[in-house]
Amino acid sequence: MKSVKRFFFILVFSLSAGLSPASFSQVPSGREVVKPEIYASLDPAARGSSFQIAVVMKIRPGFHVNAREKSEDYLIATDLKAALPAGFSSGEVSYPKGKLEKFAFSKIPLNVYQDTVILRMPITALASVSLGQQHIPLKLRYQACSSELCLPPVTLTLDAALNIVASASAANPAHTEIFGKQ
């Protein structure tokens, strides 16, 4: 039933945007438009250490997602949440500033993300965290749109895999291209 509703939603938007039924089959899903990748700033991370998890959203050319700070109440903002297992705490997610873009379907410029966007979440591995491979479940919600149509909102379940060690001297900075030198 959910897929029927989704199909109808896309069909209505596609037809209202002037797309022909033949081109409808070429409309991607929101899952195909955004490719998220997950990185940790330490590998391994030590008990008692603070680090960051980054979700890098690679957005297909010709599409955008609404920024965290949305321009209109009806828009669906990009949102990242963690279901922290025992032994971890987190701070507020850092969302980048969006870019105001003008689209034919809106009278005002919309605050959007395009191309590649990095969301960062500060994490602390508490002294009580279990050693070895750990997983932090993440939920990424966004709505992808082009200049012609908006796709149904998507919530992706992601997994931040971490290796936890006992000694801070064994923790190593990782992915300096995303997090910079630490």
Task: Enter the pTM of the model.
Answer: 0.83
Domain annotation covers residue 113: yes
pLDDT band at 180 (very low <50, low <70, confident <90, very high): confident
Domain annotation covers residue 163: yes
**Range name among 15-19, 71-75, 133-137 with the lowest pLDDT average:** 15-19
Domain annotation covers residue 148: yes
Q: Are strands 154-165 and 45-46 parallel, antiparallel or unpaired?
A: parallel
Position 23 scores a pLDDT of: 44
Q: List pLDDT tens digits, range 69-85.
A: 988 888 999 999 999 99
Domain annotation covers residue 17: no
- Which whole number is the average pLDDT over 141-159? 94
- Which whole number is the average pLDDT over 64-68? 96
Q: Which residue range is the domain that position 50 belongs to?
A: 28-168
Domain annotation covers residue 76: yes
**What percent of the chain shows pLDDT beyond 70?**
86
Residue 39: how many other CB atoms lie within 10 Å? 18
Give the DSSP per-residue string, 119-166: EEEEEEE-TTPPSEEEEEEEEEEE-EE-SS-BPPPEEEEEEEEEEEES
Q: What is the mean pLDDT of the chain?
A: 87
Q: For residue 61, with 0-12 CB atoms within 10 Å meaning exposed, 13-18 middle and 19 or more buried, which class applies?
A: exposed
Q: How many domains does the chain have?
A: 1
**Range name among 85-94, 122-131, 142-151 with the lowest pLDDT average:** 142-151
Domain annotation covers residue 179: no
Mapped onto helix, strand or coil, the DSSP state of residue 112 is: strand
- Reading the block at residue 130, the tokens are 């279990």
Domain annotation covers residue 68: yes
CATH number of the domain where residue 69 is located: 2.60.40.1250
The verdict on whether omega for the bond into residue 44 sits within 30 degrees of 0, i.e. cis, is yes
Domain annotation covers residue 16: no
